[in-house]
Structure 1
Amino acid sequence: MRQRTPAAREARLGRAVGVERGTVGGVVLLLPGGEPYSGRGPSPLAAAGVRDLARSLARAGSADALVAHVVRYRSRGWNGEDAGLARDAEWAVDEVVRRYGDVPVCLVGVGMGGRAALRAAGHAGVGAVLALAPWLPEDGRGCEPEPVRQLTGRTVMIVHGTNDLRVDPELSFRFAARAKKGHRDICRFEVHTDGHGLRQHRAEVLALAGDFVRGALFGHPYARPVVDALAAPPPLGLRMPLAAGFGSRRSK
């Protein structure tokens, strides 16, 4: 059954992480996970789960005055055609423009938030998308595949653990393969033996995320594995292994 978000609840941005004063150079919006159907308010646990990522990205982009915000959804449910999390992500980009003006924006989503980030990429204010273990369902019963046209003109990275038992990593690969046909600036990294939370290789994932955001938003040179992944044809650039120790010795 289709469930709608209670009208009285509004989306909002969490406290800014990063620049405390002066001009903001760019913004990362963190989109936590959610639930397929729910009218309940946003999950504090899901929001807490992306705060470490927000702090890590703000540190990585500190020289460029990067600010990170965690998006507080109206409801934790995707809710079918309502696609509530994606609509809240679009609202968040509007709010960034209202607060900071015309600054580069990257959507960073985890799990269901990854789907929201990819869906909301068509917003004119979005320049890049990073989706970690994105929830991209295909139920085999007439479920429409996720659109990819909105990714045109955006730089996109997907990161997925090969041992993810909650969200099938092959679904994100198939999505990336469809998107790559008409959109060259997309790559996908596989974190071997890691699960949905990408905890086993957390340091490497955080380093990869920081490298991508700095390059996509501010034009800094990407680490060599990212350059190779973006340039390689499918399936090579969509099954790029995240090497142990990534970030500890950045390849040029």
Structure 2
Amino acid sequence: MANRRTDERGDAVPGAPRRNAGSVPEPALTVRAASGQTKGVVLLLHGGRSRSYNRVRAGNLSPARMVPVARHLQRAGGRHGLAVWSLRNSVRGWNGEDMSPLQDARWALGRIRQEHPGVPVYLVGHSMGGLTAVCAADDPQVDGVVALAPWLSGETPAARVAGRKVLIVHGTEDRLTSPAESLKFARRAAPETESLQYVSLKGAGHFMFRRLAVWNALTTGFVLRAFSEKTGFPVPDDPVLGRLIPSSASSIPVVL
């Protein structure tokens, strides 16, 4: 059964009905639960291809690449009430007007809304998942977006992130998605957001292998800070994030 919700050990958890019937590929969710009451949810969105209707499998590199991010977020935020949900898309491609990953993200956000109505949601996406996060940010529960090496362009709708907190991180050596387009989007979207920060990581490429600790520190620190600001829960500010991006920073870009 492809469409199942699982806990952090990979065991099936009841309560995730099938979205489609028949042989159509389906998305899947892995849930790393918060300690105690869930006060916020992080939804992780992985990368993919421009066009492909091949099924995404658990062993594919794109969803596997998000596992360390999920673990880092859980270790830092789980005790403060943050649950971490990882979405595995139904198919590998964006697929033009079908926008397949966006459909899957909307489905996952619907599941979050059913289980945790009213809690703030933070979208964290890599590559194509960064585009998905930006496009899904208009969901009413979304408070913030982290886009890591995102696949953005002049056609990416900036209005979707209006009123949201946004962090975009892009490596200077990325050859698969464009740092220049990410920066253009950041400048275009900034006036409409609650806050927008763009970080240019010197020497980092697309797959986040280089400077991994910085990618993780920025992502987790940003989410925890936004969660604390939204809810008032006393989450300590990440000292690493504080050194890299002071809470008052508004310049675009910040170069690290």
**Shared fold, TM over 0.5:** yes
- Range with bigger deviation, 181-190 or 155-164: 181-190
State TM-score, norm by structure 1.
0.83
Equivalent in the alignment of 2:27: 11
Does residue 1:238 correspond to 2:248, yes or no? no
Equivalent in the alignment of 1:199: 209
Counterpart AA for 2:166? V
Unaligned runs of 5+ in 1: 1-5, 139-144, 243-252
Counterpart AA for 1:127? D
Higher relative contact order (CA 8 A, sep 6+): 1
Deviation of 1:224 (Å): 5.1
- List 4+ stretches of structure 1 deviating above 3 A: none
Does residue 1:35 correspond to 2:45, yes or no? no
Q: Percent identity between the aligned chains? A: 36
Equivalent in the alignment of 2:160: 150
Does residue 1:223 correspond to 2:255, yes or no? no
1:181 maps to which of 169, 182, 191: 191
User: 1:124-176: CA deviations, max 9, x gaps?
Assistant: 111110000001145xxxxxx11111111110000000010111210100111
Counterpart AA for 2:54? R
Query: What is the rounded CA distance, in whole Å, between the counterparts of 2:23 and 2:37 in structure 1?
Result: 34
Query: What is the rounded CA distance, in whole Å, between the counterparts of 1:108 and 1:30 in structure 2?
Result: 5
2:175 maps to which of 156, 165, 189: 165
Equivalent in the alignment of 1:246: none
Q: Answer yes or no: is the 8 Å Cα contact 1:87–1:120 preserved in 2.
A: no
What is the root-mean-square deviation in Å for CA atoms of aligned residues?
1.9
Q: Specify the SS of the correspondent of 1:186.
A: strand
Equivalent in the alignment of 1:141: none
Q: Specify the SS of the correspondent of 1:167.
A: coil
User: 1:88-114: CA deviations, max 9, x gaps?
Assistant: 112111111112222111010000000
The 1:64/1:75 distance shift into structure 2, 3 A limit, reads: same
Map residues 37-56 of structure 1 onto 2, 5 A cutoff: 37-43=51-57, 44-56=60-72
Query: What is the rounded CA distance, in whole Å, between the counterparts of 1:39 and 1:160 in structure 2?
Result: 27
Does residue 1:71 correspond to 2:87, yes or no? yes
Counterpart AA for 2:211? H
Query: What is the rounded CA distance, in whole Å, between the counterparts of 1:224 and 1:52 in structure 2?
Result: 22
Count of aligned pairs? 224
Query: What is the rounded CA distance, in whole Å, between the counterparts of 2:194 and 2:115 in structure 1?
Result: 32
